[in-house]
Chains A and B, each alone.
Chain A
Amino acid sequence: MMPSFKQLSASRSRMDYLLFGAMAALVLLGACCIMSAVNSISWSNPVVRTHLVALPVGALAFFIGWSFNYQIFGEQWKYMYGFILLLLVGVLLFGSYQRGSRSWFVFPFFSMQPSEICRVCLILVAAAFLNLRGRRSRDISSLFSLGLLLAPVFGLIMMQPDFSSVVVTLPALMVLLYCAGVNVFYLSMIALLVFVSGFFTISWTYIYLHPELLDYAWVRVFHGLAHNAWYIAGFAVSVILLGYVLWWFFRYLRVFLPSFYFVLASLVVLMGLGGGIFVEHQMKPHQRKRVEAFLAPKSDPRGAGYNVLQAQIAMGAGGMTGKGLFSGTQSRLGFVPERHTDFILAVVGEELGLLGTLVVLGLYLIVLWRIVAIAYTSSDRYGYLVCAGIFGMFFTYMLVNYGMLIGIVPVAGIPLPFISYGGSNLVASLWALGVVQSVHARRLRA
């Protein structure tokens, strides 16, 4: 009797070939686009050479991740946690200082960026921690203890500083927490925290860009919140009062919510304000420029918004089928910045057209779908959590990269795994998918 496809793929195979195929296609496409972006297929080009060396290393990492039982990470998470801290402290001590941050280990023949590996390790550690907490994952105590556990790691990353690494890791952890069953209220509180601090940061930057707005009294008061202690105190009192009024109002309506929620919400808003003030005072000029560029990309076509505009021109010029590899003028002549790393999608868009960008998007969707499918069949909760975390990571990468290009997310300087140039990122991403394959290989047998 003929075995069905489902039986073949789901019950016998030790590898999810669809996931593997999508991954391989992305890597292949990526290699072509990188060569095109640096306009060279020669071994003598350092970018091409590094990428071609990173590919077998990444393949090795994938097979290691696949062949190792992922449950080892669940059991030995404390050692892994130690390993992360060691790497991050090491890079702060021995790393090389490049482009304003200390995030590279430079060895005689190659260099690596430890935060890429750490990001995957961090997901494995967080998954292991939540797995241990089991049903208590719902409680706020898990949130706090996980926060305490990860705080040193983020602190070390921020000391490099590697802002974009945090930008990708935090949403991935959020997805992980959500899938681990953490109370949606707490998660929304975290989202509220991010939103409030983001709101204050963006608003203040906007006012900074348009000083004429300060003619309005309420704008002046709002702006004063960043600097004047009395305003801050007033704001704090009114938030607490509002929380109390809301609590009383809900009681009056006979909707009984835990009073703890109201306290928390008020606290979170205040923390958001604190975060906003912190960011406002800490923000470096080039970071402020990025926010500016996001708010008004056309205001300064030669300035910060220039990059996004040029990337969009490149994509738009590509049209349906693109100009062909090695033929994009926008990328070849250097109009698209960071074209082999953060803006590689613009190269894809220009040279392979809408077809190219949609194929990459589709392949990513297949990767995400397969990760979810594998999570369903995992034999234990840890496997499920690992898949959720890695899903969150790739989802974030995809969202930020495409969002940046289509102008709904500020430029964050984040590569697109498998497509962008970057050995460490490629190796780490391939290893992560290897771990997912490992979960698949050790799935529940139907």
Chain B
Amino acid sequence: MAVGKISLNSRLKVMLTLALVACGVIAVRLIDIQILRHDDYLEMAERNRTQVIYQNAPRGRVFTADGIAVASNAPSFSLYYLGGTKDISYLTRLARDFAPHLHVPEETLLSKLQTGASTGRALLLADNLSTKSTVALQELQFYYPGIYLVEETKRNYPYGIFASHLLGYLGSMDERDWRKRDVKLGYLLSSKLGKNGIEKKFEKELKGKDGGVYLEVDYRGRVKSIIEDKKWAAGSDVYLTLNFAVQRAAEEGLRNSKTGRGAAVALDPRTGAVLALASAPAFDPNIFVPYSDEAQENPSKKINEYNLAIQGVYPPASTFKIITGAAALESGMIDVNRKVTCTGKYDSGPRIFKCWGKHGPVDFFDGMSNSCDVYFYTIAAQIGSAAIERVQRMFMIGRQTGIDLPGEKAGNLYGPTRRARNKTYWFIGDTLNLSIGQGELLVTPIKLAQLGAAVASRGNVYRPYYVEKIVSNQTGKTQTVGQPEILQRAELKPETYDLLFKALKHTVDNGTARRVKINGLDVYGKTGTAQNPHGEDHGWFMAFAARPGEVPSIAVAVFVEFGEGGSSAAGPIARMMLEAYFADTLREAAAARKRARKQALQGGENHDA
């Protein structure tokens, strides 16, 4: 027995060893699961038990330079039913009371509630509710436990179409967006994101961090408790260089213009900052972010995204006479006081060119102020087309202004060198056409504004910029975006600029640009009427202005498509913009005048007495 038992005992020992080995293996695997993969599993457990009702964070606001929020956020609410009772009479009452505020039929709401109650899950009853209905809902939720009103925010553009081409608009996530922006960046399927303009360009900065109500749910998705109510973090604010009043004036002017189609651009000649950039027709970006309980416009309808200010190219017409004039002055070949007699036509030899009127004998200043074609034909023939092309290049005609906007057109430079490169001939007729800004010459409204600003600043061709800075709402940190950048200097003789200023001032004071003559300001301007073989002529207006004794601080270019006369169609808009820009100065000047008159009157009375 004993002998047998020893061997048998050893078998039991084998089993115990086996148990030890098994425990070792198990322990290793337990360490693997519980220590090495702890983080993964903990995350999975957390995901298991939490359901999040996300709350959109407010997007960063967009301000104009004078501090007016032109893109902001409005409160919006979502209504959830977190379950609780399955009592049918309770649900029926609930449906009856809530349905009118949610604009859904009572039966639909009731059946939705019943499925929600039976599964016990959090149920979204309505989202994107406006404050209008939520006042009533907020009161109602006290009577119906289980109803939860979640506050969210929604993009809102308080001034509707204001600068809509610059601001852009929001849209839903599509497949392409998903590839670029995923959940890790805080995007959800229901997120809205910038689809155009500033909204798109500064999507990263504008986007805030979503908040959410974190619910604890059990394995069947039934809500057990509310874990936490995490507040959102708003996105960063974008500050534009736009001047609210000028932009507003430009938009209103364009809307009320003869055709309602056109563009107006205002630049600060000292920096290149965009003070206004308007294109008509415009659109209201609010239609892309509607409330669910309001009448909705169909956002799929075609909106006018075409930004005429940077994408429309037209012949600059008579506004180009500034360049022809500058070339003539620079050449030193003309005497500004020598008079040319305008008989209404100019004989170039092969062809007779017409003027738009009969101006009689005109010197340089009258030629400019009356926009006399014959005068410019004459001096162009004298100085030659190459000189004009050279000045064109100085002011970067035919090149993009370099504004940070997609789709900008470059326009077209017109001159003998360009012709030579295309291996075709240049005729005298081309020179004459060029001199009055017709022919193959093409510019965008913003290009003309840049030209005006360059003349106003005596040669600085700035790159236009419209975003000043981005200010974080979390840290308060400011990030400068746009800065003055001189692309090129148009180096002309100082006398050339002096005479040009004089001629343009003369145009405003006594000539075709009389419409922008404003008391108390030094205004310089030039009109243009682009001949359009397909319909009515296009109206141009270019102007810059300064407070007396200061350097010019605004340059505007206004274009009205099919507006016929530059003076009649575009002039008033330019004037409105200038008046808006100098409103303070003008008010002070008017007050001063009034005071002076009053004083003079009183003085007179006193004298009488």
Contact = CB atoms under 8 A, between A and B. Distances in A.
Nearest to B7: A181
A313 interface: yes
A333 B15 contact: no
Contacts of A333: 48-49, 216-219, 224
B35 A372 contact: no
Interface stretch (B39-47, B121-129, B456-464, B571-579): B39-47
30 contacts: A178-B11, A181-B4, A310-B48, A313-B48, A314-B41, A314-B45, A315-B30, A315-B41, A316-B37, A316-B44, A317-B42, A317-B46, A320-B34, A320-B38, A329-B49, A333-B48, A333-B49, A333-B219, A334-B219, A335-B219, A349-B33, A365-B19, A368-B16, A372-B12, A372-B13, A381-B1, A391-B15, A395-B19, A406-B26, A406-B33
Interface string A370-414: 001001100001001001100110010011001100101000000
A372 B13 CA distance: 7
B12 A179 contact: yes
Given A334-B220, A395-B15, 13 more contacts: A181-B7, A313-B45, A316-B42, A317-B38, A317-B42, A320-B34, A333-B219, A361-B30, A365-B23, A369-B16, A384-B12, A398-B22, A402-B26
Nearest to A314: B45
A318 interface: yes
A41 to B, nearest CB: 19
Contact of A181 (B11, B38, B218): B11
A330 interface: yes
A403 B41 CA distance: 19
B8 interface: yes
B547 interface: no
Contacts of A315: 30, 33-34, 41
A406 B30 contact: yes
Nearest to B44: A313
Contacts of A178: 11, 15
Interface in A214-242: none
Contact of A329 (B12, B29, B45): B45
Interface string B228-248: 000000000000000000000
Contact of A361 (B13, B27, B220): B27
A375 B12 contact: yes
B42 to A, nearest CB: 5
A357 interface: yes
Contacts of A402: 26, 30
A191 interface: no
B24 to A, nearest CB: 10
B12 A391 contact: yes
Contacts of A372: 12-13, 15-16
Contact of B41 (A313, A320, A358, A388): A313
B589 interface: no
Given A333-B218, A335-B219, A361-B27, A179 B35 contact: no
B216 A329 contact: yes
A21 B49 CA distance: 38
Interface string A316-336: 111110000000011001110
Contacts of B22: 395, 398-399
Interface in B199-229: 216-220, 224
A391 B33 CA distance: 28
A268 interface: no
A319 B20 contact: no
A314 B4 CA distance: 48
A402 B22 CA distance: 10
B5 A381 contact: yes
A361 B11 CA distance: 22
Contacts of A357: 30, 34
Contact of B20 (A316, A354, A365): A365
A181 B48 contact: no
Which 6 pairs of residues, A with B, have the shortest CB-CB distance?
A316-B41, A317-B45, A333-B218, A334-B219, A354-B34, A406-B29
Interface in B41-62: 41-42, 44-46, 48-49
A276 interface: no
The size class of the interface chain A forms with chain B is: 35 or more
Contacts of A277: none
Contacts of A318: 34, 38
A220 to B, nearest CB: 37
B31 interface: yes
Contact of B26 (A179, A361, A391): A361
Given A319-B42, A391-B12, A384 B5 contact: yes
B23 A320 contact: no
B190 interface: no
A432 interface: no
Nearest to A334: B219
Contacts of A384: 5, 8-9, 12
Given A372-B13, A375-B12, A354 B31 contact: yes
Q: Which of A320, A333, A357 neighbours the largest number of chain B CB atoms within 10 Å of its CB?
A: A333
A180 interface: yes
A364 to B, nearest CB: 8
Interface in A289-348: 310, 312-320, 329-330, 333-335
A12 interface: no
A408 B33 CA distance: 13
A349 B37 CA distance: 13
B12 A388 contact: yes
Contacts of A406: 26, 29-30, 33
A319 B34 contact: yes
Given A178-B15, A335-B219, A381-B1, A354 B8 contact: no
A365 B21 CA distance: 11
Contacts of B44: 313, 316-317
Nearest to A364: B23
Interface in B246-289: none
B4 A354 contact: no
Contacts of A408: 29
Contacts of B48: 310, 313, 329-330, 333, 335
A175 B15 contact: yes
Interface in B116-170: none
Contacts of A313: 41, 44-45, 48
Contact of B35 (A175, A312, A320, A399): A320
A376 B9 contact: yes
A142 to B, nearest CB: 14
